[in-house]
Chains A and B, each alone.
Chain A
Amino acid sequence: MQRSCFLINLHSAARGQLRAPAQSPWRTAGRAARGALHVAAAEKKQKLMWEALREAVDEEMEADPTVCLMGEDVGHYGGSYKVSYDLHKKYGDLRLLDTPICENGFMGMGIGAAMTGLRVIIEGMNMGFLLLAYNQISNNAGMLHYTSGGQYKVPVVIRGPGGVGRQLGAEHSQRLESYFQSIPGVQLVACSTVANAKALLKSAIRSDNPIIFFEHVLLYNVKGETIDGYCQPLEKAELVRAGRDVTILCYSRMRYVVMQAVQQLEKQGFDPEVIDLISLKPFDMKTISDSVKKTKNVIIVEECMKTGGIGASLSSVINESLFDYLDHQVIRLSSQDVPTAYAFELEAATIVQPEQVIEAVHKVVGAPVPA
Chain B
Amino acid sequence: MAGGIQLSRLAAVGGYSALSAAAGVASSKPSAAATEGASKQTNLCTAVNDALHIALDANPRALVFGEDVSFGGVFRCTVGLKERFGAARCFNTPLSEQGIVGFGIGAAALGCTAIAEIQFADYIYPAYDQIVNEASKYRYRSGGAFNCGGLTVRAPYGAVGHGGHYHSQSPEAVFTHVPGIKVVMPSGPYEAKGLLLAAIRDPNPVVFFEAKMQYRTVVEDVPKGDFELPLGVARVAREGSDITLVGWGQQVGVLERAAAEVSEADSISCEVIDLRTLIPWDRAAVEASVSKTGRVLVSHEAPVTSGFGAEVVAAMSARCFLRLEAPPARVCGYDTPFPLVFEPLYLPTQQRVVDAIRATCNF
* Chain A residues in the interface with B (C-beta under 8 A): 104, 128-129, 131-132, 134-135, 138-139, 142-143, 146-147, 169-171, 174, 178-179, 181-182, 184-185, 281, 304-305, 307-313, 315-316, 319-321, 323, 326, 328-332, 337-339
Contact = CB atoms under 8 A, between A and B. Distances in A.
30 contacts: A131-B128, A132-B98, A132-B128, A135-B123, A139-B122, A147-B337, A178-B177, A181-B306, A182-B174, A182-B302, A182-B306, A184-B303, A184-B305, A184-B334, A307-B311, A309-B177, A312-B310, A313-B305, A316-B310, A316-B313, A316-B317, A319-B314, A319-B317, A320-B330, A323-B324, A329-B317, A330-B314, A331-B318, A332-B318, A339-B136
Contacts of B336: 146, 184-185
B125 A134 contact: yes
Contacts of B326: 323
A171 B337 contact: no
Interface in B290-337: 302-303, 305-311, 313-315, 317-319, 321, 324, 326-330, 334-337
Nearest to B136: A339
A143 B307 contact: no
Given A134-B125, A316-B328, A307 B176 contact: yes
B328 A320 contact: yes
B310 A308 contact: yes
Interface in B167-211: 173-174, 176-177, 179-180
Contact of B311 (A174, A184, A312): A312
A182 B303 contact: yes
A339 B141 contact: yes
Given A185-B337, A323-B326, A307 B313 contact: no
A171 B133 contact: yes
Interface of B: 98, 122-123, 125-126, 128-129, 132-133, 136-137, 140-141, 165-166, 173-174, 176-177, 179-180, 279, 302-303, 305-311, 313-315, 317-319, 321, 324, 326-330, 334-337
Main secondary structure of the interface of B (DSSP, over half): helix
* A129, A310, A326, A339 interface centre (most CB from chain B within 10 Å): A339
Contact of B179 (A305, A311, A319, A326): A305
A128 B137 CA distance: 13
Given A131-B133, A138-B125, A308 B306 contact: yes
Contacts of B165: 139, 143, 147
A308 B303 contact: no
A319 to B, nearest CB: 4
Q: Which 9 A-B pairs have the closest CB atoms?
A: A135-B125, A329-B321, A323-B327, A181-B306, A315-B314, A182-B306, A131-B129, A319-B317, A316-B313
B329 to A, nearest CB: 7
Given A308-B177, A308-B308, A315 B126 contact: no
Contacts of A339: 136-137, 140-141, 179-180
Given A143-B165, A170-B137, A339-B141, A311 B177 contact: no
